[in-house]
A and B are shown apart, each in its own frame.
Chain A
């Protein structure tokens, strides 16, 4: 006997919702999925009417479903948003080439303007070239840091008001766990925020999928037959994040609500008074918001260009010292005594 949809009590149920465990028909699942995201957008006050919003589009499932849903909701509820697609080409052969094709097809289907920016244009290095230099061990540090900035730089070029990213509940729960394990209080505080960008000059990022389970995004894309590129990045995550990810997957299989429970836990905590948080500065080299004199991307670039690619992967304070040191060494070589004084 077929199971009847829990919501409409009429049609045949096609799937069991990972989040609630209820059996739903296709239409009711779409309705529930979209309504929840609309609810998040409204209660979280993610957008204002008339805003230009860049959707970080990678061609993967999250950003493809995000582009689709935002377009649908924007029309259905008259958000009055000007939506754009923004893609970053990291320069990873066999990964980006194909996924960019997907983004281009999406652009045509959703009729949204697309901008593609490459790492090569932005930083002078492709990911392939970086991996050749540093090996496969720490490349995710590079990819992540560069990607984050690349979106901001691209968004600035497009003159947008907000960046919407496809970070889903699983991503956020994983990041919370990572930050507890690494003891990164500042990031722990930031990663539970639904809108980030405390600096007035920074472009706020919003996460409409903050409470959306990855499994539901996959199901939505599957039933809607959305065109997305499903290969994982060929440069796999570092071991530590890998552990955290595996732990989260196991947790979810024991208790599906764990994902939202972890986010809830994060939201209910705040940092004690008297705990020092890194102050927000602006990178002296590129102007990007940073907790140090030099932003992470500039440190990584410095390492790459100087042939010390491991620079910036460890503790940042040490690196800054090292950089200062090498700067003053250079200065003394060229005989500029004044410069040394300035650096010290």
Chain B
């Protein structure tokens, strides 16, 4: 979902060139309008854009000199812009050369889509090869080899069709109704054990076929993709992963997270770093583009003639109301069109919030998404969770 969904909207975005207005920096004529930040000439826009990227890295000094960084490249607008920025930043002629060593990881998700986009993946590989950086193509189904996590998560989705919050509700054993669910999970586990011969691709297919709603499919794919990137990058000797998520994408994710009951994961899912989520399993996912908007990215790509490749995703040719994420994307993009400041407002709101039991600490993490646990309901007060448990218990 991260970059994937955003792609659908990118072709419509063309940089707006307006004449007769002056650049806010140098007052030259013929300028580009970017969101709420005023108008720029081409040169000043370049400076502004790369400054945003460097400033974001400077404020969050997690990448040290000579670190190896894997860019999660998808061919889409966001990661293509990021790749271009990194290429420029490493150019010997650049004043302040970037100090890390990059590589590229492309997650091949074609197993999920009926159409065979062999040519497009070839195109993506070509782009990656031309950078001269080391690159890796990782098939999504590889996640199946990593743990039974995939099948496990799928079965839970199948039964409850809910995300984290509700899934964990289901594990409270004191409620009679829930023992039933645990029983079903155990059963499936045992069948799976005898089914050792299943290939990773079959496992993944079984998983996605078992998920009944597009909301859960998209959520699962997002979680799997993050997990795979983090873990694979570690295996390949990288220190961090760069994600291409923009402020627009994050505003959508913030609202989706809220609607899916995952508020507690906002800092991990939308912050500069994903914190301790994959500690011990993989490396940190970082979001150096989180202060750029979708529109700025589109302008940058158009000005620099950055090649992009569009691959279909789960949201492709689905209706707006087919999932929580699609609806939210449509909602945010619609609002941004009428009220351009919305996206930064949502983004900043989220920056000021943290989860009540944020990092793992002693509590451990969710076995399904590796996120912070938000299902400890004290008996001292009324909470949505307690209420839900009560509702389930009396019915």
- A→B interface (CB under 8 Å): 6-7, 17, 19-20, 22, 24, 32, 35-36, 39-40, 43-45, 176-177, 179-183, 185, 188, 194, 210-211, 240, 243, 247, 250-251, 253-255, 257-258, 260-272, 275
The answer to whether B315 has its CB under 8 Å from any CB of chain A is no
- What residues on A are CB-neighbors of B345 within 8 Å? 181-183
What does the 1/0 interface line of B342-357 toward A look like (CB < 8 Å)? Answer: 1001101111111110
Partner of B259 from A17, A243, A261, A275 at Cβ < 8 Å: A261
- What residues on A are CB-neighbors of B382 within 8 Å? 40, 43-44, 194, 210-211
A-B CB contact pairs (8 Å), 29 listed: A7-B395, A17-B395, A19-B391, A20-B391, A44-B382, A180-B255, A181-B335, A181-B342, A181-B346, A183-B348, A188-B349, A194-B382, A243-B331, A247-B327, A251-B259, A251-B324, A255-B260, A257-B166, A257-B261, A258-B259, A261-B166, A261-B261, A264-B261, A265-B257, A265-B260, A265-B262, A267-B383, A270-B353, A271-B354
Distance of A261 Cα from B264 Cα, bound (Å):
11
Check B263–A269 contact: CB distance below 8 A: yes
Check A269–B349 contact: CB distance below 8 A: no
A177 CB, nearest partner CB in chain B, Å: 7
The answer to whether B104 has its CB under 8 Å from any CB of chain A is no
Check B353–A272 contact: CB distance below 8 A: yes
Nearest A-chain residue to B379, judged by Cβ: A43
- What residues on B are CB-neighbors of A247 within 8 Å? 327-328, 331
Check A262–B391 contact: CB distance below 8 A: no
Distance of A27 Cα from B42 Cα, bound (Å):
70
Prevailing SS type, chain B contact patch: helix
B257 CB, nearest partner CB in chain A, Å: 7
Check A260–B384 contact: CB distance below 8 A: yes
A247 CB, nearest partner CB in chain B, Å: 5
Check A262–B259 contact: CB distance below 8 A: yes
- What residues on B are CB-neighbors of A20 within 8 Å? 391-392, 395
User: How many contacts A-B (CB < 8 Å)?
Assistant: 154
B373 CB, nearest partner CB in chain A, Å: 10
Nearest A-chain residue to B357, judged by Cβ: A268
- What residues on A are CB-neighbors of B387 within 8 Å? 36, 39-40, 211, 260
Check B354–A36 contact: CB distance below 8 A: no
Check A261–B354 contact: CB distance below 8 A: no
Partner of B356 from A194, A250, A269 at Cβ < 8 Å: A269
- B→A interface (CB under 8 Å): 162-163, 165-166, 213, 215, 254-255, 257-264, 266, 321-324, 327-328, 331, 334-335, 339, 342, 345-346, 348-356, 374, 379, 381-388, 390-392, 394-395
Nearest B-chain residue to A266, judged by Cβ: B263
Distance of A253 Cα from B323 Cα, bound (Å):
10
- What residues on B are CB-neighbors of A188 within 8 Å? 349, 353
Check A254–B346 contact: CB distance below 8 A: no
Distance of A247 Cα from B334 Cα, bound (Å):
11
Prevailing SS type, chain A contact patch: helix
Check A260–B388 contact: CB distance below 8 A: yes
Distance of A262 Cα from B263 Cα, bound (Å):
8
Check A262–B352 contact: CB distance below 8 A: no
Partner of B321 from A19, A22, A250 at Cβ < 8 Å: A250
Which of B257, B381, B383 gathers the greatest number of chain A CB atoms within 10 Å? Answer: B383
Check A265–B263 contact: CB distance below 8 A: yes
A262 CB, nearest partner CB in chain B, Å: 6
- What residues on B are CB-neighbors of A44 within 8 Å? 381-382
A69 CB, nearest partner CB in chain B, Å: 16
Question: With A261-B165, A265-B257 in contact, do A254 and B391 touch (Cβ < 8 Å)?
Answer: no
- What residues on B are CB-neighbors of A262 within 8 Å? 258-259, 261, 263
A28 CB, nearest partner CB in chain B, Å: 9
Partner of A263 from B324, B334, B384, B392 at Cβ < 8 Å: B384
Distance of A181 Cα from B252 Cα, bound (Å):
11
Partner of A43 from B215, B335, B386 at Cβ < 8 Å: B386
Distance of A225 Cα from B335 Cα, bound (Å):
40
Distance of A177 Cα from B331 Cα, bound (Å):
12
Check B395–A32 contact: CB distance below 8 A: yes
The 10 closest A-B pairs by CB, nearest first: A265-B263, A261-B261, A44-B382, A264-B384, A268-B264, A183-B345, A211-B387, A43-B382, A263-B384, A275-B352
- What residues on A are CB-neighbors of B162 within 8 Å? 257
Distance of A177 Cα from B342 Cα, bound (Å):
12
Partner of B324 from A6, A258, A270 at Cβ < 8 Å: A258
Distance of A194 Cα from B383 Cα, bound (Å):
9
- What residues on B are CB-neighbors of A260 within 8 Å? 261, 384, 387-388
Partner of B263 from A7, A264, A272 at Cβ < 8 Å: A264
Check A272–B354 contact: CB distance below 8 A: yes
B379 CB, nearest partner CB in chain A, Å: 8
Check A177–B258 contact: CB distance below 8 A: yes
Check B391–A36 contact: CB distance below 8 A: yes
Check A265–B349 contact: CB distance below 8 A: no
Distance of A180 Cα from B163 Cα, bound (Å):
21
Check B260–A261 contact: CB distance below 8 A: yes
